[in-house]
Amino acid sequence: MKKTNKIISERETRVLLENMYSDINKIAEGQSLTDSRLSGLEKTVFELIEVKPEIKTISMAVMELSSDVKAIDTRLSAVDSRLNAVDTRLKVVEKKLDENLDRHEKRIAKLENKVFA
């Protein structure tokens, strides 16, 4: 019986070792995948680090352009106000011209009536 127990014990040990070997292989594969993913992340981080100064430069340029746009908007508002003032003056001038034209047409009509009557 001792031999039988020893054989069974050896078989159990082999089965356990095979299971452990399988588990170790799975852990190694998982570690390999993790390493691969970490390498990809490292590459991405390095790319971002390289891009970061460019992003700061772009950000500063956008702030400058924003400031320029605000200045242009302010100037445009001033031009718009002046244009509205000119439009108002032009309407006054047109009204006066229409009034003068009406008066002159009436005068001409009176003169024509006197001359040709």
Residue 93, domain member (yes or no)? no
What is the per-residue pLDDT across 72-99, written as a single tens digit (0 to 9) for each? 999 999 999 999 999 999 999 999 999 9
Asked whether the whole model's pTM tops 0.85, one would answer no
Secondary structure element (H or E) that encloses residue 117, with its range: none
The total of structural domains in the chain comes to: 1
Residue 3, domain member (yes or no)? yes
Within 10 angstroms of residue 40's Cβ, the number of other Cβ atoms is 10
The Cα–Cα gap between 4 and 11 comes to 10
- Residue 72, pLDDT score: 96
Residue 19, domain member (yes or no)? yes
What is the per-residue pLDDT across 103-116, written as a single tens digit (0 to 9) for each? 999 999 999 888 88
The Cα–Cα gap between 37 and 31 comes to 10
Domain of residue 62, residue span: 1-85
